[in-house]
Structure 1
Amino acid sequence: MTRGRKAELRPIDGGLASVPRAPSWLSKEAAQEWGRIMPGLIERRVLTDADMGTVEQFCVASGLVKRSQAIISAEGDMVDGRRHPAFQTLFQALTESRRLAAELGLTPASRNKAAAMKGGGNDDLADLDL
């Protein structure tokens, strides 16, 4: 299966101009992530109301990463001679948060890729999902 090029994040006409309040149902950790990422996303004007579900999902996944790590730190890596069950949640949340971070342009690679595409240069590596 080949990977396509992710959409370039550009300022959107009608993009959100102010940071919306975090949904009340987010965990404390997810709400903290919301507060951390939203100002930059709003400043870049890359979000519309339709994108808020993706932002919420990213924050939930990031919150789960933090909660899982805290549980493992408090209870130890092993439970009854086996790896702590929270590791599965941790790994799944890490995978999902990385995927959603790239979709939202929250990683250095995704931001640099968008910047390279804006420059219009003929970069043979731009088609690779690196």
Structure 2
Amino acid sequence: MTGDGTDVRWWTWAGYRANATLASTLSELTDAKQRVDDASIRLRTDVTVEMWRAALTDAAERLCLPEVDERALEGLKFSEALPHALATATLAARLADLDGAASVLTEPSRFVVTPGKSR
């Protein structure tokens, strides 16, 4: 993980689905405006090493399905015929990579602050 006080990222290289699962699971640390990608998850700029370690302590036991964008529901075939909760659960399950996310959580991580910046 790297941070310079303005952009804090957890470099996972785990892929979009695993990162979406991790971002949902660690939502208390993630940037609410973030867009998940294949390589990293953007975290809040005030995340500290202590906050990071505390959040990871039991993260593997509390993996969450990713949030589903309402626009994605509109594109779902037969979306008008499905109950909203069922459509949301279906897309969240398709979007998740629980095994990939759990695997990332078993890997060691380092918290690195860019030189010249204080934390």
Fold agreement, TM-score > 0.5 = no
Report which of the two structures shows the higher radius of gyration computed on alpha carbons: 1
Q: Which has the higher contact order (CA 8 A, sep 6+)?
A: 2
More helix by share: 1
Shorter chain as denominator, the TM-score bin is: 0.3 to 0.5
| Length-normalised TM-score, structure 2 | 0.32
